[in-house]
Structure 1
């Protein structure tokens, strides 16, 4: 009977002995903002063993029942935190507990009594909108939300909002505030044409809880225009327009100058081209379009008539330019005079003829303004009664 009684005693007390060997979780902390709950804890460890954890919750009013209905939030998780939001717990009070499990052996349950209405932090407004009206600001906010996207005002009736505003140039050190339970406020009598920044904070009266501030929203106030500001804006715009037009004109001028110097550079012309360009009508006049020449008649005397003198009628060629070759005319006249003085003997006839041929041969008109035009004189090669004509060719 003794061994049997010993076995029964071991079967009854052995689970308690093993449970006492598994250390329970420590430092339970419930982080709550509005209705967002997250439970965290620590575990001291057990000779390098890995533990799993189980978290259970129940509403506080159910603890008075004989068999409260526990809800399991996390079961055999290796993390040391658990999200309680899926359980939709009661806001006024809840009760939670955690235990550790090692190799199938459980530790003792560690409870935590928590009242969100007193212990949970309140969150800031979800959104802030600011608009300018005359010389004031209109501020509208969206109330803090629960995890079911409902207003926290339904759970916290004493919820208030602190509206803080300050000039952007001075900073938040000179901020002023306004506390109101409304989600829309209007702050008047502010300075015109000044930028203000606004930030909002949630708070509760009982218990006294405050949230963090929202991100500042900055906007400028309106006001009546003064003539000084109107003139300043007008002349400023006029000055900028003038600078813009001046810059465009200067840019076009510089571009034109670069283009002209690159593709049409200035070159000094020779002096004779400058004289030609100064009076270009010389070549284009109709009266110089053709070269007009008079006929030159040369009558050769017989040898018997030489002593009495030789008469020649010489007409000089003239063109539209009015310029004739003086050297050629002088040479021809001197030849005729020498003929009159030396034609008294037959021996001089042949010399006279050669002299006339030399004097009245092919003559090229030089120093004339008409280029590529010549006068050709053909003289009689001998003596005779028939006159010879001289042709003028272009």
Structure 2
């Protein structure tokens, strides 16, 4: 009885341990991301069976014809060993483009390893084809020249040497139109000239790589746009010259407005009163030439003396008296003495008048001089 209980207990313990430990789950959703000869193996994995352990992955490949050999004779090539990422790059593993291979991946912990998960891979059939490596546009008169560079492998080798019957599909359209209205051109050449286009018009181009053997097609390249050539129409020349003229007039107007503003700020239009200008003028004359007052006085006196009316009256009186004397001298001698006395009396009266006029003139001149001096002061 005791022996049966012990054996049953051991059996249940072994079952419980196998359930708890179990086998390590392998990667799931194993796929390949490819472009030309770039191959990246990717997978997913759940951590529910290794919560407290670090999980790494190992990836290998084998030529498919070697898979027919016994397992111990199969020569698997390891590409990634104990990596923590969920991907492995096979681009530089030496997979021939026309070969057929088996790729596999395994999850590992310090205590366990999962089962291998493998897929078949034929690059020529399964690898995606990439777009042209570059597309250039050149305007040649009214035509467009398209220069297409082949897609490149991971070793910078032209994919045209690997892909069978590869060609290009060119789409081109006016920039003002939609790409859905594009014209399509198929070519196997790397240099193509688009003719019968509108001159002086913007055209856009994009190119796609294609392969007929496995019906492969790449995504389109980036869109490139350029303008066709041709003679410039007279209307565009006129519009250009008119725009230049308008710009010149606008600049000229702005310069004139700026000049008026500066002038109004630094040179205001407010005029000084007349009496301030006169006083400023007299003060400036005195500061520049202190002797100008005396010189002006002498000049004024000299000019007045030269044009003195008293002297003119004296000259007139003398000439009249001389005439009268000559006339009376030729007459009767008995009357001469009487007329001579009257003439003497007349001359004396005249002298008194001349003296009074001279005094009046001198006083007027002094008053004028004093007035000018007060005005300047």
Whether TM exceeds 0.5 here: the answer is: yes
Query: Is contact 1:125–1:141 with CA below 8 Å preserved after alignment?
Result: yes
Distance of aligned partners of 1:315 and 1:225 in 2 relative to their CA distance in 1, 3 Å threshold:
same
Superposition map of 1:1-394 within 5 A: 21-45=23-47, 46-48=49-51, 49-63=53-67, 67-92=73-98, 93-261=100-268, 265-270=270-275, 273=278, 289=299, 291-292=301-302, 314=355, 324-325=362-363, 365-368=366-369, 371-372=372-373
Moved more, 39-48 or 124-133: 39-48
The match for 2:11 is none
Distance of aligned partners of 1:192 and 1:288 in 2 relative to their CA distance in 1, 3 Å threshold:
farther
Distance of aligned partners of 1:176 and 1:272 in 2 relative to their CA distance in 1, 3 Å threshold:
closer
Distance of aligned partners of 1:211 and 1:85 in 2 relative to their CA distance in 1, 3 Å threshold:
same
Query: Is contact 1:129–1:140 with CA below 8 Å preserved after alignment?
Result: yes
Shift of 1:54: 0.9
Moved more, 364-373 or 251-260: 364-373
Moved more, 246-255 or 20-29: 246-255
The match for 2:319 is none
Which structure has more helix as a fraction of its residues?
A: 2
Relative to the length of structure 1, the TM-score reads 0.65
Query: Is contact 1:283–1:289 with CA below 8 Å preserved after alignment?
Result: no
SS in 1 for 2:367: coil
How big is each residue's C-alpha offset from its partner over 1:137-196, in whole Å with a ceiling of 9 and x where there is no partner? Answer: 111122111111111111103222111111112231222221211111111111111111
How big is each residue's C-alpha offset from its partner over 1:206-240, in whole Å with a ceiling of 9 and x where there is no partner? Answer: 21122112221121111122223322322232232
Q: How many residues align?
A: 298
Q: Give unmatched runs, 5+ long, in structure 2.
A: 1-17, 286-291, 306-347
SS in 1 for 2:243: helix
How big is each residue's C-alpha offset from its partner over 1:76-97, in whole Å with a ceiling of 9 and x where there is no partner? Answer: 1122111112212111222211
Query: Is contact 1:160–1:204 with CA below 8 Å preserved after alignment?
Result: yes
Q: Distance in 2 between matches of 1:156 and 1:267?
A: 96
Query: Is contact 1:35–1:147 with CA below 8 Å preserved after alignment?
Result: yes
Measured on the aligned residues, the alpha-carbon RMSD in Å equals 3.7
Query: Is contact 1:139–1:186 with CA below 8 Å preserved after alignment?
Result: yes
Q: Distance in 2 between matches of 1:218 and 1:284?
A: 92
How big is each residue's C-alpha offset from its partner over 1:290-334, in whole Å with a ceiling of 9 and x where there is no partner? Answer: 53598xxxxxxxxxxxxxx9996836668xxx96536xxxxxxxx
Q: Give unmatched runs, 5+ long, in structure 1.
A: 1-16, 295-308, 327-363, 374-394
Question: After the TM superposition, which parts of structure 1 deviate over 6 Å for at least 4 consecutive aligned residues?
Answer: 17-20, 282-287, 309-313
Relative to the length of structure 2, the TM-score reads 0.68
Shift of 1:287: 8.6
Query: Is contact 1:125–1:214 with CA below 8 Å preserved after alignment?
Result: yes
